[in-house]
């Protein structure tokens, strides 16, 4: 076990970098042969295949948040954290069938554009500003911090800031080429991510089997994990009672048992995958068949992701518990993944770092491109330069990419936002969860209920955020720890907390109720309501068969690990 890289590791990593950079440059040069306009730069309109869309969705989603954060939660909680990945597969099915057709039918290219068309300019501007704030100060910062933290641990622990800058610059190189370069380089990124991730998991399980003297196979290692840490292999955590330890309560606060499936878990996923510029952008430039197939391809890949991003964390827990990972003593759960990587042999460590870098860079590039899209098309074009031509808008988009990355670096430099203290995965889920209930309510009612008004949408955004803050931070002190709506649990810091996924569900319920009352008080006919054609929701046999296969596999996973 060592925390230093050998020549072979550097060689593997440099080879990965050169392949991605060369392929991206080739795509960019091909694209330069025609005039680069805004739809091509921001959306790669009509040029991404279904497999490129699916791969780009996964590459953009799987980042340091999953590799580091979810491995850390696997170390802490166990397989229950896989709910985020497996429920994402179900959410992607729902989006492919019912949500993406609405966007494509109405020629929606950005999420603020949807809000303008369906509601009004005020709703769109408010949400555009909120999205930019979250993408820069929650997503970009946490991805940079967690990624630099993990790679720094493997490089000797002295290069955190250099690595952070390197990741940012690598992402900038890809992002400045536009959405087509991002989409097609993501195909390589996701291949590296999966191959390197599976190799890391395989070696981690093999190490477990060797340390416990049960052979030298991944299967034996997996069986040893289940034997030594059976509590880490249950999807549904029991509700705490008066006999529960603080550790058990802390786990429940992160993943509140079966209750979360009726509350925030589905809001998290449907909002993230269906109402998020960063994600939907990949499919908005395609036709319905291509977009649907790409989204379902991503759903199938999602079923595999816990093997890559969660199992190494459980392996780290078992090794740590039995004295084989002393460097984690008193440390953060976010160090679990890099601790596992330190066991890997020369060469394979370089491949694993390449996989981790691929995930980080792809996610950074996708986020930065979405920031530039929202700013350029939905703010700058509308409010600062209405007559700007296509070339100027592309330049503005590139400038937005650079400035957003600089801001993210400044706020990540000394962890000014406290990402390390929260735990990376929890930090992202919690703080994006403040806006998710209101945003999802505004989108879902706007799509499928014609009477929803612009005033109700503004109220929904404000109420959703306000209620999220109240339930997360003040409700136990104001209303008590045990009410008809919720139960708050001791957080080990002298206070009480409601599980944030429960807070999200409660915020969404009340937000929808308030929006419904306000809309019912408005006109019966809303001229801005979308006309839905039932034909666009019909599925061809091949698509239906793919959906059934995904649902059957998902059901089997839950039956096995319930």
- Average pLDDT of the segment spanning 528-550: 88
Report the pLDDT value the prediction gives residue 561, as an integer from 0 to 100: 87
Cβ neighbors of 175 (< 8 A, separation 6 or more) are 182, 364, 365, 368, 369, 372, 401
The mean-pLDDT minimum among 35-49, 399-413, 436-450, 465-479 falls in 35-49
The whole-angstrom separation of Cα 302 and Cα 87 is 9
Q: Looking up tokens 């960063």, which residue turns up?
A: 278
pLDDT tens digits along 253-283 = 988 989 989 888 889 899 989 988 777 877 8
Question: What is the structure's pLDDT at 98?
Answer: 92
pLDDT of residue 298 exceeding 70, the answer is yes
The answer to whether the Cα torsion of 200, 205, 211, 215 is positive or negative is: negative
C-alpha distance from residue 203 to each of 198, 206, 357, 500 (Å): 9, 5, 19, 34
Quote the pLDDT of residue 180: 61
Q: What is the pLDDT of residue 177?
A: 65
User: Rounded to the nearest 10 degrees, how much is the dihedral formed by the CA atoms of 367, 371, 374, 376?
Assistant: -140
Supply the pLDDT for residue 356.
75
pTM: 0.83
Is 90 exceeded by the pLDDT of residue 406? yes
pLDDT, residue 32, reads: 56
Q: Evaluate if residue 1 carries a pLDDT over 60.
A: no
Residue 398 has a pLDDT of 84
pLDDT at 179: 58
The answer on pLDDT for 130 being more than 80 is: yes
Domains and CATH numbers, the chain: 7-25+47-416 (1.20.1730.10)
- Which contacts (CB < 8 Å, 24+ apart) does range 243-252 have? 246/490, 246/492, 249/489, 249/490, 249/491, 249/492, 250/76, 250/491, 250/492, 251/76, 251/77, 251/80, 252/489, 252/499
Looking only at the bridges linking them, the beta strands covering 489-490 and 496-497 are: antiparallel
On the CB side of 362, how many CA atoms lie within 13 Å of its CA? 34
**Cβ count within 10 A of residue 72:** 26
Helix, strand, coil percentages in the chain from 3-state DSSP, rounded to 5:
75, 0, 25
For position 499, what pLDDT does the model report? 92
Q: What is the Cα–Cα distance from 346 to 332, expressed in whole angstroms?
A: 26
Q: Are 338 and 153 in contact (CB under 8 A)?
A: yes
- Pick 440 or 362 by higher pLDDT: 440
Residue 361's pLDDT is what?
79
pLDDT > 90: percent of the chain: 31
Q: Give the model's pLDDT for residue 3.
A: 57
Q: Greater confidence, 429 or 203?
A: 203
- Position 330 scores a pLDDT of 61
DSSP labels for 464-532? HHHHHHHHHHTHHHHH-SB-SS-B-EE-SSSSEE--HHHHHHHHHHHHHHHHHHHHHTS-S--TTSPPP
Q: Is the pLDDT of residue 126 over 60?
A: yes
What integer is the mean pLDDT of 398-407? 90
C-alpha 92 chain-centroid distance? 13
506 or 59, higher pLDDT: 506
At 464, the pLDDT band (50, 70, 90 cuts) reads very high
What's the chain's length in residues? 562
Residue 36 has pLDDT above 60, yes or no: no
CA separation for the pair 330, 340 (Å, rounded): 16
pLDDT the model gives residue 389: 74
Residue 33 has pLDDT above 80, yes or no: no
- pLDDT tens profile 366-395: 788 888 888 888 888 888 888 877 778 888
pLDDT band at 56 (very low <50, low <70, confident <90, very high): confident
Greater pLDDT, 359 or 116: 116
More confident residue, 193 or 317: 317
**442 has pLDDT over 60:** yes
Q: Name the burial class of residue 382, with classes exposed (0-12), middle (13-18) and buried (19+) by CB atoms within 10 angstroms of its CB.
A: middle
For 172-231, write each residue's pLDDT tens digit.
877 766 656 666 666 776 777 788 788 888 888 998 998 888 878 889 999 999 999 998
* Average model confidence (pLDDT) across the chain: 84
Q: Residue 552 pLDDT > 90, yes or no? A: yes
| Beta partners for residue 482, in sequence order | 487
Closest CA to 519 of 448, 471, 467, 426: 448
Q: What angle do CA 12, 13, 17 make, to 5 degrees?
A: 120
Q: What is the pLDDT of residues 499-538, one digit of tens each?
A: 989 999 999 999 999 999 999 998 888 888 888 888 888 8
Tell me: pLDDT of 235 over 60.
yes
Task: Evaluate if residue 87 carries a pLDDT over 70.
Answer: yes
Q: Categorize the per-residue pLDDT at 489 as very low, low, confident or very high, splitting at 50, 70 and 90.
A: very high
CB atoms within 10 A of CB 230: 10
């Amino acid at each position: 076990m060592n925390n230093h890289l050998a020549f072979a590791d550097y060689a593997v990593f440099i080879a990965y970098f050169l392949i991605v950079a060369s392929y991206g440059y080739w795509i960019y040069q091909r694209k330069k042969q025609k005039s680069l306009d805004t739809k091509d730069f921001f959306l790669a309109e009509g040029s991404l295949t279904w497999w490129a869309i699916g791969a780009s969705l996964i590459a953009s989603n799987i980042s340091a948040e999953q590799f580091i954060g979810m491995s850390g939660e696997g170390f802490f909680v166990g397989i229950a954290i896989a709910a985020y990945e497996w429920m994402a597969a179900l959410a992607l099915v729902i989006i492919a069938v019912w949500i993406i057709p609405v966007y494509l039918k109405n020629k929606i290219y950005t999420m603020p554009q949807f809000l303008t068309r369906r509601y009004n300019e005020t709703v769109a501007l408010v949400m555009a500003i909120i999205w930019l704030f979250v993408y820069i100060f929650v997503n970009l910062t946490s991805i940079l911090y967690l990624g630099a933290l993990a790679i720094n641990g493997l490089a000797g622990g002295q290069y955190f800031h250099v690595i952070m800058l390197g990741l940012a610059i690598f992402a900038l190189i890809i992002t400045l080429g536009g959405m087509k370069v991002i989409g097609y380089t993501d195909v390589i990124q996701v291949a590296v991510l999966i191959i390197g991730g599976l190799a890391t998991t395989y070696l981690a399980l093999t190490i477990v089997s060797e340390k416990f003297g049960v052979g030298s196979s991944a299967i034996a290692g997996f069986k040893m994990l289940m034997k030594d840490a059976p509590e880490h292999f249950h999807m549904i955590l029991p509700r705490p009672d008066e006999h529960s330890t603080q550790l058990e309560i802390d786990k429940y606060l992160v993943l509140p048992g079966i209750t979360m499936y009726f509350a925030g878990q589905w809001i998290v996923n449907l909002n993230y995958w269906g109402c998020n510029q960063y994600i939907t952008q990949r499919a908005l430039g395609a036709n319905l068949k291509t977009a649907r197939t790409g989204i379902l391809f991503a759903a199938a890949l999602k079923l595999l992701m816990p093997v890559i991003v969660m199992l190494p964390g459980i392996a780290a827990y078992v090794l740590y518990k039995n004295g084989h990972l002393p460097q984690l003593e008193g440390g953060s759960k976010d160090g679990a993944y890099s601790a596992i990587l330190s066991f890997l042999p020369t060469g394979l460590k370089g491949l694993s770092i390449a996989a981790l870098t691929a995930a980080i860079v792809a996610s950074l590039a996708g986020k930065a491109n979405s920031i530039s899209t929202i700013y350029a098309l939905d703010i700058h074009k509308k409010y600062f330069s209405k007559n700007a031509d296509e070339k100027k808008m592309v330049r503005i988009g590139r400038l937005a990419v650079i400035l957003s990355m600089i801001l993210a670096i400044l706020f990540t430099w000394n962890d000014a936002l406290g990402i390390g203290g929260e735990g990376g995965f929890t930090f992202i889920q919690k703080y994006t969860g403040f806006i998710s209930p209101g945003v999802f309510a505004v989108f879902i009612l706007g799509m499928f209920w014609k009477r929803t008004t612009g005033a109700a949408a503004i109220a929904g955004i404000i109420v959703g955020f306000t209620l999220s803050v109240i339930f997360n931070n003040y409700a136990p002190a104001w209303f008590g720890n045990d009410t008809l709506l919720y139960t708050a649990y001791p957080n080990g810091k002298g206070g009480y907390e409601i599980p944030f996924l429960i807070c999200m569900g409660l915020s969404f319920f009340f937000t929808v109720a308030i929006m419904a009352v306000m809309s019912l008080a408005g006109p019966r006919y809303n001229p801005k309501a979308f006309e839905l054609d039932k034909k666009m929701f019909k599925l061809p046999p091949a698509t239906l068969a793919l959906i059934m296969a995904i649902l059957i596999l998902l059901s089997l996973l839950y039956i096995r690990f319930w």
